[in-house]
Amino acid sequence: MNAKLDKALEHLQRILPLKDRQDACSKQIKELHQGILRSFVEKGRILTREEMGSLVSDLDDAVSVLQEKDMVTFSADGTPVGAYPFTMETREHVVRVNGQQVHAMCALDALAVSPMFAMDTQVDSRCRVTGDPVCVQQSGTTILNADEAGDVYFGIIWGAESADSCVADSLCMEMMFLRDGETARLWLEADPDNREIFTLQEAVEFGDRFFTPLLH
C-alpha cells in the first residue's frame, strides 16, 4: 500500500465525499447519477433534463439533491453542466474516449476516466507552469505512452478549497499537470505547506480509487 496515496485519498474524500453522498441517496437518484456519468462517455454530453426525467419519478427533487450534495454542477441559470469527473464547460483537460471528446474538471479527473469505464483514453492537456502540451494515453491504470509521458507529474494545491463555492470552481481549478519532475519539484518548493505532487502512475491510481466506486 502507498501511505502517501492513502492519506491524499482520505483528504480528498473529506473535502468531496462523493461515494458517501451517492450511497446516502435513494436508489433512483443513485442510478440517475450513474446514468449522468455514463452519458458523457456514451453521448459526449450530460443528460438533458428530459432524459433525466425519464429515470426518476420526481425530477425536481432529484436535481435538488444532486445539486445540494455537489454531485452534479449547474450553470447560473440552473442548467446541469457537469458531474465529477466531467464537465460541459471548456477546460484545459480534454479526454478522448469511446469516440467522444469530453472535458474533465481537473487533471486527476481526466486520468480517472479510463479505469473508471474500462476504456482506452487519450488525455490532452498542458503543464500549468510552462504551458507545454501533455498527452497521456491509457488503458485502465496502464499508461500506454510511458516513454513519452512517464515523467509527467500531477500537482494539487490543497489550500484552494473554498467554502464559498463548489469543488469544481475551487479545488478542481488547482489540480494540474506538471511536465516533468524538475518542474514539479520547483513548483512544490514555492509553497510546500499547501502543495503536493504525485508521479503520473500515482495520480492514475489516486483517480481510480476515488472515482471508480461511483459506478458500483
**Residues 208/5, Cβ–Cβ less than 8 Å:** no
Give me the residue spans of the domains in the chain: 3-215
pLDDT over threshold 80, residue 6? yes
Average pLDDT over residues 88-117: 97
Average pLDDT over residues 90-106: 97
Residue 111 is inside which H or E element, if any?
helix 107-117
- Alpha-carbon distance of 198 to 98, in angstroms, equals 27
Q: Residues near 4 by Cβ (< 8 Å), separated by ≥ 6?
A: 198, 202
User: What dotted CATH number matches 3-215?
Assistant: 3.30.450.410
Average pLDDT over residues 61-76: 93
Average pLDDT over residues 156-177: 85
User: Mean pLDDT lowest for which of 76-80, 129-133, 143-147, 149-153?
Assistant: 76-80
In which band, very low, low, confident or very high, does the pLDDT at 170 lie, cut at 50, 70 and 90?
A: confident
Structure confidence at residue 166 (pLDDT):
83
Structure confidence at residue 168 (pLDDT):
82
In which band, very low, low, confident or very high, does the pLDDT at 163 lie, cut at 50, 70 and 90?
A: low
pLDDT over threshold 70, residue 124? yes
pLDDT over threshold 80, residue 1? no
Structure confidence at residue 164 (pLDDT):
63
